[in-house]
Amino acid sequence: MTFLEVRDVHMSYGHNEVLKGVSLDVAKHEVVCLIGASGSGKSTLLRCINALETITSGEIRVDGDVVSGPGVDVNRLRRNVGMVFQSYNLFPHMSVLRNITLAPTRIGGKSKEEAEAQALELLGRVGMRDKSHAFPDALSGGQQQRVAIVRALASNPQVLLLDEITAALDPELVGDVLGIVRELAEDGLTMLLATHEMGFAKDVASQVCFLHQGRILERGTAAQIFEEPQEERTRQFLSRVVTAGRL
């Protein structure tokens, strides 16, 4: 059953239409990967789903509820739909623990004790429990990204959006972060992720969508998209990816 539904979504920055009618269904427990060249609209699509951008037409639903357009309860939406960014976006003046417990206590109605207990449990799962009192600038990029994932999970989201979360990491740190995402996938978390890690997409994705100039040009299983792409544009993109050593 469809859990996240994107229906004919258009979005413009000024006169520049960057999403030109995107439709997408993500079922519960499914992991959907968005691939495509830089500028194709991957981040914009994820940002629209999380109401960080306003769509110009179309509709987005989560668990049947419309979450796009005027009158949407953004706090409620973001409790249900978590997001992790390429650039971590942790608050630099707050400890790891405070970064994680902020939303659950301020918006989620949890007590400090409850939120901290959950944060420590989640930090333990990503091997970061001993860093709970550290500040972000004392952590490596990979560690900061693990904290950012935990922060998103702390609101118990029903869907997690991940926007190229390993793109800013040194190569030796990428594996740890992808390993965590892989575990989340195995646990059945519903995820929609933009990624340049094609090998990873091949392993975890139940569906791969190739975006080109604001449209989903081709979609299918990882095997279909990576091994038998039907569209010339998809083939060109993948051959550049292969040349870059990412497949």
DSSP for 26-60?
EETT-EEEEE--TTSSHHHHHHHHTTSS--SEEEE
Q: Minimum distance between the CB of residue 164 and Mg ion, rounded to whole angstroms?
A: 6
- When binding is defined by CB under 5 A, the residue of 36, 40, 43, 146 that contacts Mg ion is 43
36 vs 136, beta carbon nearer ligand ADP: 36
- The neighbour count for residue 35, using CB atoms within 10 Å, is 27
Q: Identify what 18 binds: Mg ion, ligand ADP, none; CB under 5 to 8 Å per kind.
A: ligand ADP
41 vs 82, beta carbon nearer ligand ADP: 41
For residue 12, give the 3-state DSSP assignment: strand
Per CB under 6 A, 42 contacts ligand ADP: yes
Per CB under 6 A, 15 contacts ligand ADP: no
Dist. CA 87–CA 141, nearest whole Å: 9
Per CB under 6 A, 195 contacts ligand ADP: no
Dist. CA 131–CA 17, nearest whole Å: 43
Give backbone dihedrals phi and psi of 35, rounded to 5 degrees, phi first: -120, 165
44 vs 101, beta carbon nearer Mg ion: 44
Angle at 77 between CA 71 and CA 80, to 5 degrees: 160
Per CB under 6 A, 38 contacts ligand ADP: yes
- The neighbour count for residue 130, using CB atoms within 10 Å, is 9
Q: Minimum distance between the CB of residue 31 and Mg ion, rounded to whole angstroms?
A: 18
Per CB under 6 A, 36 contacts ligand ADP: yes
- Considering only the stretches 2-10, 33-41, 56-64, 105-113, report the one whose residues sit in contact with ligand ADP under the rule CB under 6 A: 33-41
Per CB under 6 A, 41 contacts ligand ADP: yes
Per CB under 6 A, 43 contacts ligand ADP: yes
Site string for ligand ADP, 44-83 (x = CB under 6 A): x---------------------------------------
User: With the C-alpha atoms ordered 229, 183, 64, 10, is the resulting torsion angle positive or negative?
Assistant: negative
Per CB under 6 A, 39 contacts ligand ADP: yes
* Packing angle, helices 141-153 and 171-186, rounded to 10: 20
Which residue stretches of the chain are H helix? Answer: 42-49, 74-80, 96-106, 112-125, 141-153, 171-186, 198-204, 222-227, 232-243
List residues binding ligand ADP (CB under 6 A): 13, 18, 36, 38-44
List residues binding Mg ion (CB under 5 A): 42-43
